[in-house]
């Protein structure tokens, strides 16, 4: 923020919003901060609108000013700046910058690995663990807490996500954690390498049955004979539907993805060689609290 050049009025407005982060600041409060005791005589809706507009265009991407109609403004800060790196174009749904910002703001309502670990007790010791396509930096700390003394690889085809995770790994000084640029559908990992693979809602980024099959075939190839796989998926609520087409969903993250029925996923896992050990933490969901299901699989 030291390199940010603001006018005196912009700075006063920003200081007020920052002081009341995540709280509503009304227009009268902004006017008092900018014009002081004479704010009533100097009050201008147009100038306040312009101040907010200019601030939005000057602030770093981790700061967001939200407008609440007839109420005021809220400043939110994710504390995480999304890296500007080259993105590999691959099959399937690509995360947007907006999606990454949402998933890396710990104040937002999200489904992350902390929620997964709350829903299942892992009593086994794992030597090598793979976490596929994680998009939230705080998943690093969650894995470290729940799988201590384990070698963990975070793989992703998105270099922005890898950079976020690598920064967190270095910050926490986790010598046994690594990041790897990899697309699980055409994975470079060798056969029978991992004791545990975690795929948390990443099947929903695929856009075809073929991509889902490739994902599961490669996971089957890289886990050990007694290895385990934990999969979370948003599910199609049309359980009795005979339609084979996937269902489109869009939640607070504002990214359209696809999902299938539980019957489809069960058949997918079995056809690619897996045994379903457990189905757990199923939620029926609603429009903004989507239906999902978790599976524990093995060879």
Whole-model pTM: value is 0.75
In which residue ranges of the chain is CATH 1.10.10.10 found? 8-77
Q: Check residue 240 and give its pLDDT.
A: 62
Residue range 97-298 in CATH 3.40.50.150: yes
Q: Is the dihedral of CA 38, 40, 46, 48 positive or negative?
A: positive
CB contact at 8 A, 268 and 212: yes
Neighbours of 200 (CB within 10 A): 22
pLDDT tens profile 31-48 = 999 999 999 999 999 999
In which residue ranges of the chain is CATH 3.40.50.150 found? 97-298
**Three-state SS annotation for 19-30:** HCCCCCECHHHH
- CATH class of domain segment(s) 8-77: mainly alpha
Q: Check residue 27 and give its pLDDT.
A: 93
Residues of the chain with pLDDT under 50: 287-288
pLDDT tens profile 94-117 = 999 999 999 999 988 899 999 999
Q: Check residue 282 and give its pLDDT.
A: 76
């Amino acid at each position: 923020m030291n390199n940010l050049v603001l006018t005196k009025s912009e700075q006063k407005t920003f200081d007020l919003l920052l002081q009341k982060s995540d709280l509503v600041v009304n227009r009268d409060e902004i006017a008092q901060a900018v014009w002081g005791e004479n704010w009533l005589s100097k009050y201008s809706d147009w100038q306040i609108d312009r101040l907010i507009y200019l601030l939005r265009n000057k602030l770093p991407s981790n700061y967001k000013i939200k407008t609440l109609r007839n109420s005021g403004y809220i400043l939110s800060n994710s504390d995480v700046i999304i890296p500007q790196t080259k993105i590999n174009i691959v099959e399937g749904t690509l995360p947007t910058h907006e999606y990454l910002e949402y998933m890396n703001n710990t104040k937002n309502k999200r489904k992350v690995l902390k929620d997964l670990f709350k829903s299942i007790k892992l009593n086994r010791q794992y030597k090598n663990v793979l976490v596929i396509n994680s998009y939230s930096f705080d998943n690093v700390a969650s894995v470290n807490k729940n799988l201590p003394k384990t070698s963990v690889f975070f793989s992703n085809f998105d270099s922005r996500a890898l950079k976020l995770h690598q920064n967190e790994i270095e910050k926490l000084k986790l010598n046994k954690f690594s990041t790897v640029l990899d697309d699980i559908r055409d994975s470079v990992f060798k056969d029978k390498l991992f004791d545990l693979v975690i795929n948390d809602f990443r099947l929903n980024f695929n856009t075809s049955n073929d991509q889902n099959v490739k994902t599961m075939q490669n996971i089957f190839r890289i886990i050990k004979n007694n290895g385990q796989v934990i999969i979370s998926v948003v599910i199609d609520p049309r359980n009795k539907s005979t339609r084979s087409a996937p269902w489109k969903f869009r939640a607070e993250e504002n990214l359209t993805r696809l999902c299938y029925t539980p019957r489809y996923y069960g058949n997918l896992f079995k056809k690619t060689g897996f045994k379903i050990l457990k189905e757990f933490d199923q939620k029926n969901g609603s429009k903004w609290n989507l239906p999902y299901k978790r599976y524990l699989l093995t060879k």
